[in-house]
Amino acid sequence: MENARFEKRRRQMLQPFLMKLFYLAKLPLAFVAGLRLTELDERRAAVTVPYGWRTTNPFRSTYFAALAMAAELSTGALAMLQTDLAPRPVALLIVGLTAGFEKKATGTTTFVCEQGDLLADAVARTVATGEPATATVETIGRSADGTVVARFTFTWSFKARAAKG
């Protein structure tokens, strides 16, 4: 991957103002929930979801849907980065999801996915072959003290599209 293009796109995605505009346009519930992309490189992404009136349920914990949004974005940011920088257009779609909840989320939760290389490999496969490719990646949500709150596994499907021209 061309380093200058990658670095430019990574910096854009880490700009809070630009990401808020993206959320407003494409993911309005992420904007309302207050999700933040805090780390991003080729292999790793981290997304936080705050604990507060916008994300809590009647049981005084973070609503599972807010956790799921943050979990998805921690894998999706890596997937989007790879597809944005592919040499030809690539479509992406979640085709599988599993989740496990281990502790009650009563504070800010940070989801970290460290499997960007699997997503990059799937994008490279679909670009090279023209056939759909999948990658299954895990993201782990932790509270501020490091306690595991939830684990999500997403299966992303990638399909190379015909080059525009």
**Model confidence pLDDT, tens digit, residues 17-26:** 888 888 889 8
Distance CA 152, CA 145 (A): 19
Q: How many CB atoms lie within 10 A of CB 42?
A: 17
Q: Is pLDDT larger for residue 148 or for residue 31?
A: 148
Q: Per-residue pLDDT for 156 more than 80?
A: yes
Segment 121-145 shows an average pLDDT of: 97
Kind and range of the H or E element at 135?
A: strand 133-142
Q: Which of 45, 48, 47 has the alpha carbon at shortest distance from 79?
A: 45
Residue with tokens 């809590």: 56
**Model confidence pLDDT, tens digit, residues 68-125:** 999 999 999 999 999 988 999 999 999 999 999 999 999 999 999 999 999 999 999 9
* Residue 131 counted as domain residue: yes
Distance linking the first and last C-alpha atoms of the chain:
22
Residue 162 has a pLDDT of 82
* Residue 165 counted as domain residue: no
**Model confidence pLDDT, tens digit, residues 49-65:** 999 999 999 999 999 99
Distance CA 25, CA 5 (A): 23
* Residue 108 counted as domain residue: yes
| Length of the chain in terms of residues written | 165
Domain count, the chain: 1
DSSP state letter for 62: B
Whole-prediction pTM: 0.92
Segment 134-163 shows an average pLDDT of: 96
- Residue 151's domain comprises 3-160
Which CATH number does the domain housing residue 14 bear? 3.10.129.10
* Residue 28 counted as domain residue: yes
Segment 129-133 shows an average pLDDT of: 95
